Amino acid sequence: MSLYYVQKLLYQLNRDPHTRSRYDSELDALLADYDLDEKELAAIRQADIGLLYIMGVNGQLLMHYAAQRGFAWDEYIAAMRAALAEHGDVRAGLYATIDGKGAA
Amino acid sequence: MPLVFAGVVSHGPGITGRYEQADKELREALYQKFYRLGAELKEARPDALIVVAAEHFANFFMDNMPAYAMGMAEYYEGPIEDEQWLGIKRRKIPGNAELSGLIVEKLLRHFDLAYSQEWQFDHGIMVPLNFLTPEYDVPIIPVNINCQGPPLTPLARAYDFGRELGRICAALPERIAIVGTGGISHWPATPDSGRINEPWDREFLERWLSNDRAALTSYSDEETYLAAGQGGFEIRTFIAVSGATEGCTGELYFYAPIPIFAVGCTVARVNLPH
């Protein structure tokens, strides 16, 4: 797990038009710049918003990535809820460290 | 001179970005109070407006996260988010580098804050400005308190930071206003988005309105998270305004949970002595 680098990728995608351009034109090269494991790479390539939430990505980063990938607000919320039902509790990051589950 | 205006407001991106999904009557009541606060701010004729915000990984990230940061630029830009998503057009916002630099220099005597000459405002600042200074004609001095990526600055430290900021402003000739933007309880951008703990919010507001430092700073981060969500960490911005206006009570203009805005929407003003 390299949650930090997943979040760093999303942080830079959210704030930097050049990174967004690279996402569209040379995704492999962009992803190679980050220390990501196979599961993280797959979740990003598939824009699996729910699984990224379960992996611990902070919603303040994830909601913008979801919007970039075409998720309307209700679809974004639904993706996370579906992932909780499918995968169980959040595994890392802020949401897991205090209450250990990530949602009420 | 002493601060010429002080208040606190919510900043949830849904307030502008998902406005059409909210109950129209409730939404308009909120907007009206936002605009009222903006009109009163204008009447105070500020030379600069300090916005104490809790940004959301727009400029500051865990590679180098300052507990406190202040903008020190001639101008800023925002929103960093997609214009359509937030419902606010991107623009330049005037700053005041010289005044910022002076305040930073004085704050550094007591607080090791970071400064920034390049800052893209996110919804945490843009949503308040959209209502309070819709002409974007007041120079902004942004302050960020890290409320997103723990470990976080202690609440008492946030109060004391605000107190020092207020003292510094009081000794300057400029007419300076301050607005804090944040929480109160909310679970933004999570599956619990829309959940709001109204009793917790009202208890917090009682403490804020009476500027009760001991009560305001008595929460632990763990109990805040459990009762008020990760968005509850943003009470630091309200508490900093309390510090800047120590001894002053407040007046609540608006509070109502609006789930599609993902927060108990709040507009309140500090009763300054002059």
Is the pLDDT at B10 greater than 60? The verdict is: yes
Instruction: Give the minimum alpha-carbon distance from B192 to chain A in angstroms, rounded to a whole number.
Output: 6
Question: Quick one: average pLDDT of A32-59?
Answer: 96
Rounded Cα distance between B264 and B194, Å, is 9
Is the pLDDT at B49 greater than 90? The verdict is: yes
Question: Quick one: average pLDDT of A33-57?
Answer: 97
Q: pLDDT tens-digit profile of A41-51?
A: 999 999 999 99
CB-nearest to B222 from A4, A80, A98 is A98
R_g over Cα of chain A: 13
Interface of A with B (CB under 8 A): 4, 7-8, 11, 14-15, 53, 58-64, 67-68, 73, 77, 80-81, 84, 94-95, 97-99, 102-104
Here the tokens at position B200 are 């917790």
Question: Quick one: average pLDDT of B32-41?
Answer: 98
Q: What is the DSSP string of chain B?
A: ---SEEEEE---THHHHTGGGS-HHHHHHHHHHHHHHHHHHHHT--SEEEEEE---SSS--TTS--SEEEE--SEEEE--S-HHHHT---EEEE--HHHHHHHHHHHTTT---EEES--B--HHHHHHHHHHSTT--S-EEEEEE--SSSS---HHHHHHHHHHHHHHHHTSSS-EEEEEE--SS--TTSTTTT---HHHHHHHHHHHHTT-HHHHT---HHHHHHHH-GGGGGHHHHHHHHHHTTT--EEEEEEEEEGGGTEEEEEEEE----
Is the pLDDT at B50 greater than 90? The verdict is: yes
Give domain limits for chain A. Answer: 3-98
ipTM of this complex: 0.92
Q: pLDDT tens-digit profile of B191-228?
A: 999 999 999 999 999 999 999 999 999 999 999 999 99
Under the banding of pLDDT at 50, 70 and 90, the label for residue A101 is low
Q: Specify the fold of B5-259.
A: Protocatechuate 4,5-dioxygenase; Chain B (3.40.830)
Is the pLDDT at B274 greater than 80? The verdict is: no
**CA dist B13 → A20, A73, B48, B222 (Å):** 22, 11, 24, 25
pLDDT of residue B77: 97
Burial of A17 (0-12, 13-18, 19+ CB in 10 A): exposed
Measure the CA dihedral B91/B158/B231/B203, to 10°: -120
- Please tell me the total number of residues recorded for chain B in this structure: 274
Q: pLDDT tens-digit profile of A74-96?
A: 999 999 999 999 999 999 998 88
CB-nearest to B57 from A60, A67, A97 is A60
CATH of domain A3-98: 1.10.700.10
pLDDT of residue B70: 98
Least confident of A90-104, B46-60, B171-185, B250-264: A90-104
What percent of chain B clears pLDDT 90, i.e. is strictly above it? 99
Optimal mutation site among B16, B21, B57, B220, interface A, most CBs of chain A within 10 A: B57
Instruction: Name the one residue in this structure whose structure tokens are 């925002």.
Output: B78
pLDDT of residue A99: 67
pTM of the model: 0.96
